[in-house]
Structure 1
Amino acid sequence: MKVKVISVFRDKFTGQYYNPGEMIEVSEESRVLDMENRRLGERVEVKVPEEKRELKISLFEKEFEKKALVDALKSISVQATGNMKEETLLAKIAELDEESTAKLKEVLDIK
């Protein structure tokens, strides 16, 4: 996540000095919290572009978040991941047999 430096400090891992106003990338939440608690930096909320936001996927005449579909597939023992493309997820669903499709509809609360 992006952090804006608000006080001069030296990174304890790299030895690099940072000055107020600099933007740095910090991957660990614990480090960001430490920096905020010590008033060395503050997290900067980065707006996610429209095209990067979670898309809705149409299925069974309803719309679902991609994550909800992945979780539903996993719950019925179908291998699925969050980085799959929409087409791949829909293809996996199309491959399901009648019994698995019924289980998926039940998980997604479709009558």
Structure 2
Amino acid sequence: MKVKVISVFRDKFTGKYYTPGEVIEVSEESRVLDMESRRLVERVEVKTPEVKTTEEKKEVKISLFEKEFEKKTLIEALKSIGVQASGNMKEETLLGKVAELDAESTAKLKEALSIE
């Protein structure tokens, strides 16, 4: 864990001197507790990045055939007509795949998306 030096001290294991303001990594909890009790260091709060849950993520909408579809829905429809598609593809790539379809495949895609 990371600790911030608040008083000058010499490390008893390495012999290195530390000055106030330095941030050092200490692997043993007992050692951190010892240094804190002697007012040599204080713990540094490590900020963890916020992770959005699936519910918080905004679903991407893609405009196609004058309608809007969720990206996931379009991917499933493309897969159902035999077009290779995956969730990590960008929207532009998916629209490019749709543009490459021939008339027959486009009709099948429209059917899969419940479009007349």
Please state which band the TM-score falls in when normalised by the shorter chain. Answer: 0.5 to 0.7
Of 73, 77, 81, which residue of structure 2 is paired with 1:72?
Answer: 77
Aligned twin of 1:99: 104
Residue 62 (structure 1) aligned with residue 63 (structure 2): no
Q: How many Å separate the matches in 1 of 2:109 and 2:99?
A: 11
Offset of residue 54 of structure 1: 1.2
**Other structure's SS at 2:87 match:** coil
Q: Tell me by how many angstroms 1:80 deviates.
A: 0.1
**CA separation of 1:93/1:49 partners in 2, compared to 1, >3 Å: closer, same or farther?**
same
1:109 aligned partner, one-letter code: S
Larger CA Rg, structure 1 vs 2: 2
- Give the TM-score, by structure 2 length: 0.52
Corresponding residue for residue 88 of structure 2: 83
**What pairs with 1:1-111 in structure 2 (closer than 5 Å)?**
46=52, 53-111=58-116
- SS of 1:96 mapped into structure 2: coil
> TM-score, normalising length from structure 1?
0.54
Give the distance between the partners of 2:56 and 2:95, measured in 1 at CA. Answer: 22
Q: Identity of counterpart residues, as a percentage? A: 71
Gaps of 5+ in 1: 1-44
Pairwise CA distance, 1:81: 0.2
Let me know the Cα RMSD of the aligned residues: 2.2
Deviation at 1:76, TM superposition (A): 0.2
Q: For residue 60 of structure 1, what is the amino acid of its counterpart?
A: F
Q: Number of residue pairs matched?
A: 66
Runs of 4+ aligned structure 1 residues displaced above 6 Å come to: 48-51
State the shift of 1:94 in Å.
0.1
Q: Normalized per residue, which structure has more helix?
A: 1
Change (3 A) 1:80 1:47: closer
